[in-house]
Amino acid sequence: MGTRSALWSFANKFFTCGVIGVYVSDRFVGVAPVRGSSMSPTLNPGTTSLMGLAIDDYVLVEKRCLQNYKFSHGDVVVFSSPSNHKERHIKRITALPGEWIGTRHSYDVLKIPEGHCWVEGDNSSSSLDSRSFGPIPLGLVQGRVTHIAWPPQRIGAVEKRTPQDTISSS
């Protein structure tokens, strides 16, 4: 009887912790892996290695910003790909709704529609971003990257930076 009671108590605590963990992950904060070099040197700079192999960064993703879509220039965000919703990308917001954007590699000027933003990778030569697929709907954004959580030697806040030559007010 004692073993069954102890097992039931453990299962109950495990289930409760799991439910709380899912709730917190869904509503407040999550962890996401950074794949590729499109956000280098901010994320995945390629300098961290384990026995000669590069280690991907893992980042904390804050989700409270999704209430009322509170974003600003330079925020690094996680979003679903506009062409394949199973893929997630991590890029930096360079323009918000109602602003004009002039890309560095083109002479085109575009007004960002309401409910959309323009995102670019810090490493433009290897980034699939708004220069390829245009403005992204804010509804695809899953959260704002606030900190690097892994590897240990890179733990810290993610800097907000904005390319000054791409933004103009409405």
Of the candidates 37, 40, 63, 91, the residue annotated as catalytic is 91
Give which of 77, 82, 85 is closest to 39, Cα–Cα: 77
Question: Is 91 an annotated catalytic residue?
Answer: yes
Question: Is 169 an annotated catalytic residue?
Answer: no
- Alpha carbon distances (Å) from 48 to 2, 52, 86: 49, 9, 28
Kindly give, in sequence order, each residue whose CB lies less than 8 Å from that of residue 136, ignoring residues fewer than 6 positions away: 79, 82, 116, 117, 118, 119, 130
86 CB neighbour count, 10 Å cutoff: 6
Of the candidates 38, 40, 127, 130, the residue annotated as catalytic is 38
- Alpha carbon distances (Å) from 137 to 3, 6, 8, 16, 170: 54, 50, 46, 35, 19
Q: Which residues are catalytic?
A: 38, 91
